[in-house]
Amino acid sequence: MNDKVGNEITEKARKVRLLLLDVDGVLTDGRIIYDSEGRELKFFNVQDGLGVRLLEISGIKTVLVTTRPSEVLERRAKDMKIDRVYDGVLHKTMILDEIVDAYGVESEEICYVGDDLVDLGIMRRVGFPVAVRNACREVKEAASYITGKAERAPCGRYRSLS
């Protein structure tokens, strides 16, 4: 990434006052698994919870916007202390004005992270659109930034409990 692009991304990120996240494929690996009782299972990463908490400490709220309502998501959102979940929303741009009013922000102060075609409309209306690494081509093209998966650095040493 050249300095000009890096500076543009940094400036967009500095303006962010609200983080909007899609769920499936962004906070999860995109898989939906049903157990033998028909209960839905999803895989969330614990590190996302810490990231959301650190943003909250910095004064940046996090809101989830997803097309699929899910009890599993409600529980994870509660665990992460997510400010609000908009679920069952197919046309995500239709709620953007409501979100702007509710949080007292401008659309340029919103970062939206998405991965699929239903995310395109809202990505085109926010100040800092982000695509996850495995997003579809169209979403990557609409993004100002595409995430990458770095090797996980050791966070500390584990002691044996025995």
User: pLDDT of the chain along its 162 residues, tens only?
Assistant: 667 678 899 999 999 999 999 999 999 888 888 999 988 888 888 889 899 999 999 999 999 999 988 888 999 999 999 989 999 998 999 999 999 999 999 999 999 999 999 999 999 999 999 999 999 999 999 999 999 865 555 555 444 444
What domains can you pick out in the chain, each with its CATH number?
A: 3-146 (3.40.50.1000)
pLDDT at 30 (0 to 100): 86
pLDDT at 45 (0 to 100): 86
- Burial class of residue 28 in the structure, from the number of CB atoms within 10 Å of its CB (0-12 exposed, 13-18 middle, 19+ buried): buried
**Tokens (6 digits) for 69:** 């309502």
**What's the predicted TM-score (pTM) here?**
0.87
Contact assessment for residue 22 and residue 113, using Cβ atoms and an 8 Å cutoff: yes
Looking only at the bridges linking them, the beta strands covering 40-41 and 33-34 are: antiparallel
pLDDT at 6 (0 to 100): 82
CA distance linking residue 96 with residue 93, whole number of Å: 5
pLDDT at 43 (0 to 100): 87
pLDDT at 1 (0 to 100): 62
CA distance linking residue 142 with residue 121, whole number of Å: 9
